[in-house]
Structure 1
Amino acid sequence: MKWRDRLTALAIVAVWGFNFVVIKWGVSGIPPFLLGGLRFSAVVALAMFFVRRPAIPWRWLAMYGLSVGFFQFACLFTAIRVGMPPGLASIVQQSQALFTLLIALLWQKERFSGWQLAGLLIGGSGLWLIGGMGVADIPLLGFALTLLGAFAWALSNVVVRAIVRAGYQPDVMGMIVWSGLFPIAPFFLVAALIEADRIVWAEALTAKSLFSVGYLAVISTLFGYGQWSRLLSRHPANQVAPYALLVPFFAVLSSRLVFGERLSFWQLTGGTVLLFGLAINVLGPRLSALRRAAREGGGSAALGRE
């Protein structure tokens, strides 16, 4: 990967990390479900006429859009609204990788590799440290909702696997934009039912709130996923995906700088263990492949000498 693409990858994960700070700004003025509806409305309005619809059935787009769009962000936005620290939320969200393994096992009968099992056990231990020892310093409801959001994200990952297994090759950007049609109505419907009397337009129409909607739609979604899709089209996924491990770093750093957020000892310890388990899950297979290639190369060289 060229340095330009490496810098692009770093810019993307920095944008996604700062996303958690922006969400906190957004939900401080706009109720969570209304914010979600505005975000996806903006994404669809700005990009639907410029991004081709992926050649997959509408039912798959609906499943993907409702899982990753509605359920994930409804939980995450609400979690941060009720007091979940943005930096810690970014760490707990990474448990999606563990949930993905479990859902794939139950739904698609996939088996764990040794690396995946190790990552699952280590990551689960980190999650237990946060929830069992570090949750006293954060709202329990916020922690639970963040976990539910991670579960919804994981469900969307398995939906994508099912789409690929069905013989389709969906474009990342097309999936993001066109699946965004489906969360809009649920977000606005729930907002009308439970948030209508809590909307204070003087707070919702501030520059910070409007910036939040624009950032979530244009910078985080259209720029972030657009450039991520471009990188995946130019490089193997195992070279691009590891950069996503840096999202919590940028989220914790930006939340510390903007809000003065500090993780407790157990939150920091649990978060480190969780991310270590995720790193094993992501990087372990790649290390095994490199070792096999090295052994095979060494064997070939030895045969050549003979």
Structure 2
Amino acid sequence: MPLIDVIQALAIVVAWGVNFVVIKWGVAGVPPLLLGALRFSLVAFPAVFFIKRPALPWRYLALYGLTVGVGQFGCLFTAIKLGMPAGLASVVLQSQAFFTLLFARVFLDERWQRSQLIGAALALLGLALIGAGKGGGMTALGFGLTIAGASSWAASNVVVRAMGRAGYRVAPLGLVIWSSLIPPIPFLLLSWQLEGGEQILAALRGFNPQSLFAVVYLAVVASMFGYGLWSRLLTRHAAGKVAPFSLLVPVVGLIASHLLLGESLSLAQMAGSGMLMAGLAASVFGGRLVSGWRALVASRA
């Protein structure tokens, strides 16, 4: 991969890692479900007038928008508002990779590789350690909602795989922008029902530069810039060369949350985070390492 593309991949990693800190800033002044509505509204408009709609039925756009939008970010924003540390959220959310394996097995009948099973076992132990660990102000509800957000992200991955099986080839940026038309209304309805009209009006009246920065960053930097550049890299290089960079997102998330929010993890949370990331690395790289080792042994035989 050329150096310029490596730099671009690292820029995306930084943007997505800092994203968790910005969410923390955002929910400090805006109720989380209202923040979700504002974020996806800004992603969709005015971009839908300039980006071509993906050539796939609306049901896929709706399913993707509801799972990755309302499900993932609704749970994540609320989790961080209710006490989930931003840095730890960036780690726990990566458990989506293992929920994806589970859902793909159930709904798409995909087979598991041994390395994926080993990775899933490590990740499960890591989540157990994180859940049992005390420190950083983490609440049980915040932790549970982050897990729910990870499972919603996994569901959106299965929706994308189902699109591919149905013969649709969709540009990621177009999918992100057009599916963003779906979440705002459910978010507003949920915000009105759960957060209340008074909180919504108070947040809009007191909308300050920090809230504006959070909405713009989440929509423009994390979503449009991040996914747009990511999709460009995927068109230039094999997914196996690009995807491993995402393993650095929680590393950036932990560092950024420590530097900008003063967050720190307990020993159990640190051990659990390390175990979860080791499981993710085993799942991503394990199959290649085994294949490479077998090829090396065969060449020397």
TM-score (norm 1): 0.93
Q: Does 1:268 align with 2:270?
A: yes
- Contact 2:98–2:120, Cα closer than 8 Å, also in 1: yes
- Contact 2:68–2:153, Cα closer than 8 Å, also in 1: yes
- Contact 1:90–1:248, Cα closer than 8 Å, also in 2: yes
Aligned to 1:237: 239
Shift of 1:191: 1.6
279, 283, 286: which one aligns with 2:285: 283
- Contact 2:31–2:203, Cα closer than 8 Å, also in 1: no
Aligned to 2:108: 108
Alpha-carbon distance between aligned partners in 2 of 1:281 and 1:203, rounded to the nearest angstrom: 47
Aligned to 2:32: 32
- Contact 2:85–2:136, Cα closer than 8 Å, also in 1: no
Range with bigger deviation, 126-135 or 33-42: 126-135
248, 251, 254: which one aligns with 1:249: 251
Alpha-carbon distance between aligned partners in 1 of 2:105 and 2:176, rounded to the nearest angstrom: 25
Deviation string 1:263-290 (CA, Å, 9 cap, x unpaired) is 0000000000001000111112232444
Aligned to 2:198: 197
Q: How does 1:84-233 map to 2 (within 5 A)?
A: 84-134=84-134, 138-195=138-195, 196-199=197-200, 200-201=202-203, 204-233=206-235
Alpha-carbon distance between aligned partners in 2 of 1:188 and 1:114, rounded to the nearest angstrom: 43
Shift of 1:293: 5.3
Shift of 1:104: 1.1
Aligned to 1:55: 55
Identity of matched residues, %: 52
- Contact 2:19–2:222, Cα closer than 8 Å, also in 1: yes
- Contact 1:66–1:182, Cα closer than 8 Å, also in 2: yes
Alpha-carbon distance between aligned partners in 2 of 1:72 and 1:141, rounded to the nearest angstrom: 15
Aligned to 1:44: 44
Shift of 1:248: 0.5
- Contact 2:64–2:160, Cα closer than 8 Å, also in 1: yes
Alpha-carbon distance between aligned partners in 1 of 2:284 and 2:45, rounded to the nearest angstrom: 35
TM-score (norm 2): 0.95
SS in 2 for 1:95: helix
Deviation string 1:184-209 (CA, Å, 9 cap, x unpaired) is 11011112223222232477411000
Aligned to 2:74: 74
Which runs of no fewer than 5 residues in structure 1 stay unpaired? none
* Alignment root-mean-square deviation, CA: 1.7
